A and B are shown apart, each in its own frame.
Chain A
Amino acid sequence: MISLDDPRKLVPLRDQAHQVAMNMLRPISRKYDAAEHEYPKELDLLAAMIDGLSESGASNGAGAGGVKRDEDTADDGKVKNGTNLASVLGIAEMCWGDVGLLLSLPRQGLGNSAIASVANAEQQKRFEGVWAGMAITEPGTGSDSANISTTAVLDGDEYVINGEKIFVTSGDRCDAVVVWATLDRSAGRAAIKSFVVPKGTPGMTVERLEHKLGIKASDTATIRFEDCRVPAENLLGSPDIDTKAGFGGAMATFDNTRPLVAAMAVGCARASLDLTRDLLERAGVDIDYDRPGHVQSAAAAKYLQMEADWEGARLLMLQAAWMADNGKPNSLEASMAKAKAGRVGSDVTLSCVELCGSVGYAEGELLEKWARDSKILDIFEGTQQIQQLIVARRVLGLTSAQLR
């Protein structure tokens, strides 16, 4: 039975996340935007609370680890509203609070999602409670992640990793980094594997932290690996170079994390919409959903367009998560969600600054900050163009050799 309202059983979680965002993240939002690279110590308490909620089951499995596809029973014998939906709903609310702080939450990193997606049961257990960053991008390799040059060579019962990784979110603060490296550069994408490298492993150096346009509360590190040795059992998934399975193993992470990034954009854009609506109303502009935009003010018309786009992004996000919850392949839908949410995030946050004029542009309000924070969400975990490429290939039934 088609019903696209938020699941009744997850509404308490969503509302709780909203309260946390409002009362814990917003008060320190500007502080850590200004104090880039300073550790947001307030988050330790919050992370402990989230751990507690996870343990008690009250979080419905929301969070970075929630992307795992498990086999719970369905809610009504047929349809499941599970951890993936809980995660996107929770993350969207937290990012309504602050994207940078959400990304800085201990033990909620994208590396944790990677572990949840790809690791076997033994690894899941061994890395429980570890805060894991994700290291994919290299100075010479962005979207073209099949082309990475970091190598991992098996030596006895250890892999020796060499290479340089950039743009590692929480790379300085995390306990471990999930590193993408190739076992054999001549074997192409099938040879790319991910490794959990704990902080403090000899040969691993955090070189520097980036100064960024937005999400300044989140540290973005450059990490160098020089003959860095990790136990062979830290390779996530299978060590076999299966050319048929290809990139699937490592890339499977993205099917699970793209809806989460869509959720970040949805949350950030909602923050802008909520405040802008408030400011517009105070300026005498009311939004009427019953009347076409062109018989209202231009500002109201723009608002309606933005909110309609936003609603579309949010529903695409929920669709992708719902499919994951119900064991349906969602690679296409995950990319649709991220493509739409990424561009809507930019349009909404930038347009809200424009609508609010200097009030929106100045640091007195957070609108200008959200317009800076949103940009990364159309870039990391696959740029807008990469998502379009994935969607186009799927819809048109073309291979990566045909549509390059």
Chain B
Amino acid sequence: MSAPSRHGVSSRDSRDPIGYAVAAMNKLAQSDLLDRLGIRRQTEKAVFTVTRSGFRTATTAGRAFARAGRRGRAGTRPGAPRSRGVFDLTPTEDEQMLVDVVTELATEVVRPAAADADAACATPDEVLRAGNEIGLPILGVPEALGGLSEERTAMAGTLVAEALAKGDLGIAVAALAPGSVATALSLWGTDEQQATYLPAFTGDEPPAAALALTEPAVLFDALEPGTTATRIDDGYVLDGVKSLVPRGADAELFVVGARLDTGANALFLVEAGADGLSVEADPSMGVRAASLTKVVLDGVRVDEGALLGADDGTTYAECVRLSRLAWCALAVGTGQAVLDYVTPYVKEREAFGEPVAHRQSVAFMVADIAIELQAMRLLTYKAAGRVGAGKDARREIGLARELCASKGMKIGLDGVQLLGGHGFVKEHPVERWYRDLRAIGVMEGGVLV
């Protein structure tokens, strides 16, 4: 009996969860994609998209998602996690390979495209395609459903988000947005939902998709959404406005948070093109490469099968937490970008006859960036490790978010300060990181691990 080519790997050898991701990555390493993109900056083009122009438009129906699978049946879930009870800071070999590949993408493709993508409020298609090619959208999708994971990959997702954000946070959000919906379907979808939507994500042209949880409200509390889901005979009617939704204009599928008549919160799958659904530009201080939009739901009717996960609030709360965890990882990656940038700068920049780094007031700012950044990273990893091991991580995610929001912003602030006036102009990326890091603690949804 002959199996498909396994490159000399014995059939007794099974791939680890991320092994599949690494196999996918290998395709990238072999292709000339990086060479094609690495040196080519996105040409300045007048991108006239909804995200820049600000008009409101009905969402255009994307692909038709053919109903499949059984509604009442539970979906396929990532496998049960292992926990060895050993304190360890070492990523698995597979996670490390994954990080290496994503780091290369971040360095060679994402960073060079970042300034233009920020200005254009859009991430170039080639960059998004490169992300798709290495499997970003299906990192959290079980292998049995055509994805890359055998078990819960919260840690891998965290490491990937961090590595990608080191290139650019806005592009990272744009590239990871479809994966947030695919991961949500994997974690909470019914057989029908998975069979209907996931094949599109695991195919050659994964759709844009977005997890919409933020709302334009002062003192917004994600656990008190203003968007409502009113029960009707054969489904629900959704009303409300979601803000800061990544790539909403292109998205073919949304996961939207709303409050039920019962007072509990829940998630709903809403296809683009649904009557009453419209998007408008929501360009913001930062994260601009993610083409942020407002999504307006005005009497949008969905059927019963659109409810994603539990209707008692538990799925919704878990989703909010896992999204915050992803934002923490993005903050860590961006903070690292700041540290890596200011370190050589303060050693080269001279004032009063010597490098400014030789002054304690400057050097101590850099030291504090390094200390707080590592604290942010450890809190994020601890939370991700607990999620991956199937443990309760409510406290750990709450604390990680608190620290990443405050210290992340402080790092962005000091990054600009260390460059002085040069930090204020767009010749250097620190002003973009400053704008991007303000998103931590503000953004809910959009990304998910």
Contact = CB atoms under 8 A, between A and B. Distances in A.
Interface of A: 1-9, 75-76, 78-79, 81, 85, 288-295, 304-305, 307-309, 311-313, 315-316, 318-319, 322, 333, 336, 339-340, 385, 388-389, 391-393, 395-398, 402-404
Nearest to B156: A2
B394 A316 contact: no
B375 A7 contact: no
Contacts of B394: 289-290
A262 B395 CA distance: 22
A1 B17 CA distance: 13
B402 interface: yes
Contacts of B358: 398, 402-404
- Determine chain B's interface SS by DSSP, over half rule: helix
B87 A81 contact: yes
B9 interface: no
A2 B86 contact: no
B374 A336 contact: yes
Given A3-B389, A4-B378, A4-B381, A396 B347 contact: yes
A307 B397 CA distance: 12
B404 to A, nearest CB: 9
Contact of B402 (A4, A6, A304, A385): A304
A291 B374 CA distance: 24
Contacts of A291: 221, 223
B30 to A, nearest CB: 28
Given A1-B92, A290-B321, A294-B219, A81 B86 contact: yes
B278 to A, nearest CB: 29
B63 to A, nearest CB: 35
Contacts of B321: 290
Interface in B223-246: 223
Contacts of A6: 87
B272 interface: no
Given A290-B317, A312-B403, A316-B374, A79 B88 contact: yes
Nearest to A401: B358
Interface in B361-387: 363-364, 366-368, 370-372, 374-376, 378-379, 381-382, 384-386
B395 A318 contact: no
B296 interface: no
Nearest to A397: B347
Contacts, number: 172
B327 to A, nearest CB: 12
Contact of B360 (A5, A311, A403): A403
Contacts of B381: 2, 4
Nearest to A293: B402
Given A294-B219, A388-B367, A396-B343, 12 more contacts: A1-B82, A1-B88, A5-B382, A291-B223, A304-B398, A319-B378, A336-B370, A385-B360, A391-B371, A392-B363, A396-B347, A398-B347
Contacts of A78: 90
B187 interface: no
9 contacts: A1-B92, A3-B85, A85-B87, A305-B402, A309-B403, A333-B374, A385-B360, A392-B363, A396-B357
A252 to B, nearest CB: 21
Contacts of B287: none
A392 B370 CA distance: 8
A292 B221 contact: yes
A312 B347 CA distance: 28
B7 interface: no
Given A2-B89, A336-B371, A308 B399 contact: yes
Interface centre among B368, B371, B378, B379 (most CB of A within 10 A): B371
B86 A395 contact: no
A315 B400 CA distance: 12
B103 to A, nearest CB: 17
B292 interface: no
Interface of B: 82-92, 95, 155, 219, 221, 223, 317, 320-321, 339, 343, 346-347, 355, 357-358, 360, 363-364, 366-368, 370-372, 374-376, 378-379, 381-382, 384-386, 389, 391, 394-400, 402-403, 406, 441
A301 to B, nearest CB: 9
Contacts of A316: 371, 374-375, 378
- Determine chain A's interface SS by DSSP, over half rule: helix
Given A4-B87, A319-B378, A391 B367 contact: yes
B380 to A, nearest CB: 10
Contacts of B95: 2
Nearest to A315: B378
A290 B346 CA distance: 39
B86 A295 contact: no
A311 B363 contact: no
Interface centre among A7, A288, A308 (most CB of B within 10 A): A308
B212 to A, nearest CB: 18
Contacts of A319: 89, 374, 378
Nearest to B441: A292
Contacts of B371: 316, 336, 339-340, 391
Contact of A4 (B83, B89, B219, B376): B89
Given A2-B384, A4-B385, A75 B399 contact: no
A291 to B, nearest CB: 6
Contact of A403 (B155, B320, B357, B368): B357
Contacts of A295: 219, 221
Contact of B84 (A3, A322, A403): A3
Nearest to A390: B367
A5 B367 contact: no
B291 to A, nearest CB: 25
A357 B83 CA distance: 43
Given A1-B90, A2-B384, A76-B84, A315 B379 contact: yes
Given A1-B92, A403-B358, A395 B87 contact: no
Nearest to A323: B89
A322 B396 CA distance: 20
Interface centre among B85, B355, B372, B376 (most CB of A within 10 A): B85
A5 B386 CA distance: 8
B378 A312 contact: yes
A7 B370 contact: no
Contacts of A395: 339, 343, 366-367, 370
Interface centre among B321, B343, B374 (most CB of A within 10 A): B374
Nearest to A313: B375
A4 B382 contact: yes
Contacts of B386: 5
B379 A2 contact: no
Interface centre among B87, B339, B394 (most CB of A within 10 A): B87
Contacts of B399: 289, 304, 307-308, 311
Contact of A312 (B368, B372, B441): B372
